[in-house]
Amino acid sequence: MEVQNARRWAPRGTRVWLTAAAALAIASGVRLVLHPLLGPIMPGTAFCIAAALVEYFCGLAPALTVMFLGLGIADYLFVPPYATIAVFDRADVVLLVSYPLVTLIVIVLIERLRRSQFRAELIASVAQSRYEMLLRHDNERMLARRGVDETHRLLRHLSHHHRTFIFIQALERNALQPGNDIKSQGMLPRLPNEIAPGPRFTDVDPDDIQRLSKALWPGSHRVHLKSGDGPSKLTECMCERFTTHAGEFLVLRIGA
């Protein structure tokens, strides 16, 4: 995968250049402290290390700046004759060839490694976001499939119990969630009054219809049901809940 932003891994702003200046100052100070011990030996080592560290934390441009400024400081202060630019001899040539070559190799390798690391992090981030999208789509597909299955079950239920079907009622969203449980709170859920009547709707006492339309929940209920020309009888009814893609419904039918 080609990632165009891989070269933009380094931070930006004045803080980066302040860090590079601090690294250059520390390298100069350390080399000055060690100068009585080392003399002209390895005049650019401290600046090479500083440039490598700056490259790792701050990027290519600050590292190159530290390298070139360190080259000038090392040649001026730590290559004999010290603190003069009037003489250009073999020691200066060795420093001008070896120090930039070694430092550039180190900087280029670190730059490639940092770009590869940043590229891998970008790819991992993209893969994570795509994985989350797939999970969301999978969950939505499962919910849609569950809604379709519940719709089919509702239709089969209505066709199977057509002769005992009293009415069907649509629930408000979250009307019968655990927080609204009737038995746990001792209160009735908020339900709409609109109901769709079934074949046995007219056989049920109107008072029971009014009561159940406002206080219906899944489970067993008793209603007064007309039986021919005789008086109404107290009959056991069953209410079942169906969750479909169109919403949640309660179906009340005769029989346990």
| pLDDT tens-digit series, residues 99-136 | 999 999 999 999 999 998 998 888 888 899 999 999 99
Query: pLDDT value at position 6?
Result: 66
Sign of the C-alpha dihedral, residues 66, 69, 72, 78? negative
Q: Which residue has the tokens 């600050």?
A: 62
Q: Report, in angstroms and rounded to the nearest whole number, the Rg of the chain calculated over CA atoms.
A: 41
Residue with tokens 């003399």: 39
- pLDDT at residue 186, rounded to an integer: 39
Instruction: Output the pLDDT for position 144.
Output: 82
Separation CA 15–CA 109 (nearest Å): 24
CB 241 within 8 A of CB 250: yes
Indicate the pLDDT class of residue 173, thresholds 50, 70 and 90.
low
